Amino acid sequence: MVEPDVHQLQIAMIGTKREEKLLVTSEVAIDFLGTEAARVLSTPHLIGHLEMTARNSVKLLLDPGHDTVGTQVNVTHLAATPMGMNVTFRSEVLSVEDRRINFKVEAFDEKEKIAEGTHQRAIVNVAKFATRVAAKAATV
């Protein structure tokens, strides 16, 4: 399989934006504080949704057989979002360096900005990546 033309990807991706929404439910809320009133969107779920919004923004621009994996996350969780509130996740491609895609990410609930930061994803050939992962797993 031919590897993607990085220069063409840079041109196509820079400035690409995506927005996704999520209703905060018990499945994505913390429950360890002991009171229902304190159930809010968990930081791991916040980061996971920011990552997937970034991934989904560029997935269709990649050659068949390619995808991205997260390599770096630098996110500040600014405010709590209670269950029942909607969250909007946003990503924007800032730059592409070799196979690394750098994103600005942020999230807003119905009242305020709840997160901001940067995220990096690496473009991978899925078949080659799976082979490397299988070889590593076989050493355990």
Residues annotated as catalytic (active site), given as ranges: 43, 51, 77
What whole-number distance in Å separates Cα of residue 87 and Cα of residue 2? 39
Whether the CB-CB separation of 27 and 66 falls below 8 Å is answered with no
On the CB side of 61, CA atoms within 13 Å amount to: 24
Rounded to whole angstroms, the Cα distance separating 53 from 51 reads: 5
